[in-house]
Amino acid sequence: MAPTAAGNILARLGDTPVGEWSGEEAAFVALATFLLGSGTQARLEEVNGTHLTSAGVAALMTERIRGYGAEPPPTGDTSTVARLEALARHCAAERLAHLGNGTVFYRLIHGANLNKTEHMLRPAVGYADVPAPLRALLEREAGIAADTATVEETTAAFEELGDALHTAPAPEGFSSAYEALLTRFMTTLAEATASDVAMGRGPRSFAPLEPGSTGKDDPLTLKTNDFFCCVAPSPAFAGSFGEDRTLLVKTLSAYSARMRFNTWHYLPHTLGITDREPGRDDWFFAPTMPDVTHHSDQHHTGHVTFSVRYAIRVPLGIDYAGRHLPGLYDLRLMRAAGEQYTTDDLRAAVASGRVLAVLHQAMSRHRATVRDFGNEWFRALYG
């Protein structure tokens, strides 16, 4: 939310002398600050649906510190504020140390009540966690040996593949070889993970990502159609619609539309322009942590309508024009029914997402334009 947006409580408080804040307002700002300082913006979402108290925030940070394998710092008889400051600093430092060692943090989201809790995925994720059918596809397309140890080792191969995709003729039904490969990537991954759908979002053009872009390329004037989401159903999911291909197309298009909105929603934070004036009222922190969600068809309106019961989200960022752009892309898996996703499924998704990020990074050198994955495209391919 932009500082000038109507209803921005924090902006109102910023214009009000602290001495005139109510006790409730002061407590909220202080406790939210400690939570944000404890390691990640997502920490605020871990207290969804709870009554914020100093004791509750201290207990949460203590629990997280111990979950990281450490003990909270001694605080003795210090003030409540000093104790919370010390806990937040210690929590953030321990979390950062785990990130430096390759630990993947993820959130488990309970869809019915939106409770969100942070967990660690260990041991470190490697290329072997990419499902075998997807590794086979990448061996054929990019020459990446299936027994490659780490995703980082694939960088050179993807750079060569990116060069080849950039100059290759577009296969029938696609605007480019890049978009065709994205579709094969998602289709293969959906089937390999027993998912109903695999999808990935991103920008259609790189022009708005250039620092200082203005006019038609001003990132704050973009619409949701300026972004894409490649959505691919597994053969089993597509077959479950029988002869009703219209409903299949409608469902895939709906998934795509929602994901396009997400890229638009995160863009100001992704580009680091949330304080720009004039700004955009509607934005949210770009995600950096994977999510595993269950029973989200019990709460989220779109998920209820289109039966998104279980899901995995892996946010992806790239480096472009001298900046890291978090959450610019992502990878998602979805099941409408059946079993909820396991940590093994999450490992597969995280590894596959990292591979996808390397592909997007390679294509960014060519400022690849994406034209497919709109409603007409879904109708032509799946109708």
Q: Sign of the CA dihedral 296, 312, 380, 368? A: positive
DSSP string computed for 268-333: HHHTT-TT-SS--S---PPP-S-EEEESGGGT-HHHHHTT--EEEEEEEEEEETTEEEEEEEEEEE
Residue 313, pLDDT score? 97
pTM: 0.92
Q: Report the alpha-carbon distance of residue 47 to residue 125 in Å, rounded.
A: 28
- Spell out the per-residue pLDDT of the chain, length 383, in tens: 556 666 778 888 988 999 999 999 999 999 999 999 999 888 988 998 888 999 999 999 999 999 999 999 998 888 999 999 999 999 999 999 999 988 999 999 987 777 889 999 988 899 999 999 999 999 999 999 999 999 999 999 999 999 999 999 999 999 999 999 999 999 999 999 999 999 999 999 999 999 999 999 999 999 999 999 999 999 999 999 999 999 999 999 999 999 999 999 999 999 999 988 888 878 889 999 999 998 765 555 555 555 678 999 999 999 999 999 999 999 999 999 899 999 999 999 999 999 999 999 999 999 999 999 999 999 999 98
Structure tokens at 45: 């979402």
* Residue 122, C-beta contacts closer than 8 angstroms, at least 6 positions apart: 103, 104
What string of H, E and C letters represents the secondary structure of 117-186?
A: EEEEECCCCCHHHCCHHHHHHHHHHHCCCCCCCCHHHHHHHHHHHHHHHHHCCCCCCCCCHHHHHHHHHH
Residue 244 carries which side chain, given as an amino acid letter? D
Per the CB < 8 A criterion, the answer to whether 149 and 128 are in contact is yes
Looking at residue 10, its pLDDT comes to: 81
- Which pLDDT value is given to residue 8? 78
Q: How far apart are the first and last CA of the chain?
A: 39
pLDDT, tens only, 46-83: 998 888 999 999 999 999 999 999 999 998 888 999 99
Q: What angle do CA 117, 121, 127 make, to 5 degrees?
A: 145
Strands 104-110 and 291-294: parallel
Burial 174-199 (b: 16+ CB within 10 A, else e): bebbbbbbbbebbbbbbbbbebbbbb
pLDDT number for residue 123: 84
Continuous segment of H or E residues that includes residue 202: strand 197-203
Cα gap 301→108, rounded to integer Å: 19
Distance CA 178, CA 174 (A): 9
The answer to whether the CB of 209 falls within 8 A of the CB of 325 is yes
Tokens of 29: 């700002």
Q: Taking a C-beta distance cutoff of 8 angstroms, is the pair 270, 325 a contact?
A: yes
Which of 332, 37, 67, 38 is CA-nearest to residue 200? 332
Tell me how crowded residue 156 is: count the other CB atoms within 10 A of its CB: 12
Angle at alpha carbon of residue 136, lines to 130 and 138, rounded to 5°: 80
- Model pLDDT, residue 253: 95
